[in-house]
């Protein structure tokens, strides 16, 4: 795929905000950040849930979707892969039981959006959108729950803000709420949507997009926590 600096999505913007060198490595130089057991497990579970919402069925169907979408990369040993596979299966089994008692009216799952903004095209894929009373919708992003999430995280989430813009502008929906569904704790953390912040989100996209276009490399991120710390020429944490 050709690198298109006018195409923006949350992951690109997040990478640049975390570190301009991370953005350059992944998107401009088109190298890949190594997958970890946690990133592979998260993606496998997301894909299984996406398939389930598209073709609902019973628990056996959900676990079959999981097996079909299992990602083998990122594991050091077969034993580790099996441990993570079983961990994901337990998460999905618990989610399925919860879903039986808390079924929602799912309008979209794994829904792609794209909308123009000045010289850019903003793209993304939303995990789940549920219908709410009064013609509103609730945008939900599935999180595995490896890190705690609370209402402050929802209120400050750039990802949810960009997705809400996509839901409103590209898919013409009235956004009533946005939030996370935490898979390991089976909790929804959701807040009413406040559109008054949209201009600030667009201003951040504009400012970041312009810096990405100019390949402004004016700072480094947190090298010890960076996924490419052992590969990046600028890393100050190659041995960690």
Size of site (CB under 6 A) for ligand SF4: 14
- Give min distance, CB of 238 to ligand SF4, in A: 8
Q: At 25, is the secondary structure helix, strand, or coil? A: helix
Contacts 24+ apart (CB under 8 A), 31-37: 31/231, 33/227, 33/228, 34/74, 34/227, 34/228, 34/231, 35/71, 35/73, 35/74, 36/74, 36/227, 37/74, 37/75, 37/80, 37/81, 37/84
In the complex with ligand SF4, which residue's Cβ is closer, 94 or 231? 231
Query: Of residues 213-232, which lie at the interface with ligand SF4 (CB under 6 A)?
Result: 220-223, 226, 228-229, 232
- Give min distance, CB of 32 to ligand SF4, in A: 13
**Per-position x/- string for 15-54, each x denoting binding to ligand SF4 as judged by CB under 6 A, each - no binding:** ----x-xx--x-----------------------------
In the complex with ligand SF4, which residue's Cβ is closer, 38 or 152? 38
In the complex with ligand SF4, which residue's Cβ is closer, 19 or 160? 19
Q: Is 12 in the site for ligand SF4 (CB under 6 A)?
A: no
HSE, CB side, 13 Å, CA atoms: give it for residue 186: 14
In the complex with ligand SF4, which residue's Cβ is closer, 7 or 18? 18
**Per-position x/- string for 160-199, each x denoting binding to ligand SF4 as judged by CB under 6 A, each - no binding:** ----------------------------------------
DSSP codes joined into one string, 77-145 = SHHHHHHHHHHHHHHHHHHHHHHHHS---EEEEEEEEEEEETTEEEEEEEEEEEE-GGGEEEEEEEE--
In the complex with ligand SF4, which residue's Cβ is closer, 162 or 223? 223
């Amino acid at each position: 795929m050709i690198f298109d600096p006018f195409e923006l999505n949350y992951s690109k913007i997040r990478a640049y905000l975390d570190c301009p060198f991370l953005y350059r490595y992944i998107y401009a130089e088109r190298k890949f950040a190594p997958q970890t057991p946690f990133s592979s497990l998260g993606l496998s579970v997301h894909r299984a849930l996406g398939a389930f919402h598209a073709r609902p069925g019973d628990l056996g169907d959900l676990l079959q979707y999981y097996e079909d979408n299992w990602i083998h990369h990122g594991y050091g040993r077969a034993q580790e892969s099996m441990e993570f596979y079983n961990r994901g299966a337990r998460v999905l089994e618990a989610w399925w039981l919860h879903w039986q008692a808390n079924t929602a009216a799912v309008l979209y799952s794994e829904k792609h959006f794209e909308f123009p903004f000045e010289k850019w095209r903003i793209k993304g894929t939303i995990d789940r959108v549920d219908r709410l009373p009064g013609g509103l919708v609730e945008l939900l992003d599935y999180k595995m729950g490896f890190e705690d999430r609370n209402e402050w995280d929802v209120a400050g989430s750039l990802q949810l803000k960009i997705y809400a813009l996509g839901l409103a502008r590209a898919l013409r929906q009235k956004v009533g709420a946005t939030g996370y569904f935490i898979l390991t704790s089976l909790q929804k953390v959701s807040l009413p949507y406040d559109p008054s912040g949209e201009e600030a989100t667009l201003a951040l996209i504009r400012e970041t997009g312009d810096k990405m276009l100019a390949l402004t490399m004016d700072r480094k991120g947190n090298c010890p926590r960076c996924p490419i710390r052992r590969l990046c020429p600028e890393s100050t944490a190659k041995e960690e």
